[in-house]
Amino acid sequence: MFENRPNREAEVALVGRSNVGKSTLMREITGHSFDTGGKPGVTRNPNHYDWNAEDFVITDLPGFGFMSGVEEDYREEIKTNIVHYLEDYADNILVAILVVDGKSAIDIIDRHSGPDEIPYDVEMFHFLRELDIPTVVAVNKMDKVDDKDERLNELCDRLGLYPPWKQWQEIIAPITAKRGQIDALNEAVRDQLHEQNRDDLYKFF
């Protein structure tokens, strides 16, 4: 199990499959570099970034889902650890940021949709909501997407949100983390914090 969480009450957690740009996004939010590897599965324990003077931590959870060169047992163990972490700290997590790859998310979701299979991204989105964790979907790498509105509408549809996506801007946030284009995410996170009377945390987003 993940044991190294700082003793902080309030938390924002980043979740998502491997190689969607979580660590890059974490760097944009915190201004602090973390180990990002070219190969999936580099982040194997949560990266926590806390401000000593604040009762607040941002956590980048390990990537889940298929990772080339990583055994299935190990992938399942990571996923189980993530699920337990989210369950254990659900009351502390003010906002979860589910990071997806805007370019490939729809294809991956559709490829894994079947009678016995729920795609990881969709499953995680509903799992977070079942835990009553306010969730923002950061749709990353939007610089590589041509038909942005259409792609975001399709994503809403897969997540069970009625399109058009623009009515869900407190949930769906198109970003390009590598270029520092994360304003939509910051706005969405602030909306969620405001709902919980935590405007004091705006300065981090």
Q: What is the pLDDT of residues 29-40, one digit of tens each?
A: 988 876 555 554
Residue 182 identity = I
Q: Are 21 and 177 in contact (CB under 8 A)?
A: yes
pTM of the entire predicted model: 0.92
- For residues 20 and 103, give the distance between their C-alpha atoms in angstroms, rounded to a whole number: 10
Domains held by the chain: number: 1
Q: 């700082």: which residue's tokens? A: 6
Element (H, E) at 96: strand 93-101
Is 8 within 8 Å of 185 (Cβ atoms)?
Answer: no
Mean pLDDT of 152-169: 96
Q: Which domain holds residue 123?
A: 10-204
Would 29 be classed as within a structural domain? yes
Q: What is the mean pLDDT of residues 104-115?
A: 81
Question: Tens digit of pLDDT for each residue in 40-52?
Answer: 455 577 888 887 6
- pLDDT score of 186 more than 80: yes
Per-range mean pLDDT, top range of 61-75, 102-116, 174-188: 174-188
Please report which confidence band the pLDDT of residue 181 belongs to, taking 50, 70 and 90 as the band edges: very high
pLDDT at 63: 86
- pLDDT tier at 112, thresholds 50, 70, 90: confident
- Whether residue 66 is contained in a domain is answered as yes
Residue 15 scores a pLDDT above 90: yes
Compute the 3-state secondary structure of the chain and give helix, strand, coil in percent, each to the nearest 5: 40, 20, 40
User: How far apart, in whole angstroms, are the C-alpha atoms of residue 150 and residue 154?
Assistant: 6
Residue 91's CATH number: 3.40.50.300
Q: Give the pLDDT confidence score for residue 31 in this predicted structure.
A: 86
Averaged over 11-17, what is the pLDDT?
A: 94
| Residue 4 located in a structural domain | no
Reply yes or no on whether the pLDDT at 72 is more than 90.
no
Residue 158 φ then ψ, to 5°: -65, -30
| Alpha carbons 205 and 155: distance in angstroms, whole number | 24
Residue 111 has a pLDDT of 85
Could you give the count of Cα atoms lying within 13 Å of 121 in the half-sphere of its Cβ? 30
Domain annotation covers residue 1: no
Residue 119 placed within a domain? yes
Angle between helices 148-159 and 120-130 (to 10 degrees): 60
Which range, of 46-50, 133-137, 174-178, averages the lowest pLDDT?
46-50
DSSP 3-state of 168:
helix
- Between 119 and 155, whose confidence is greater? 155
Domain for residue 171, yes or no? Answer: yes
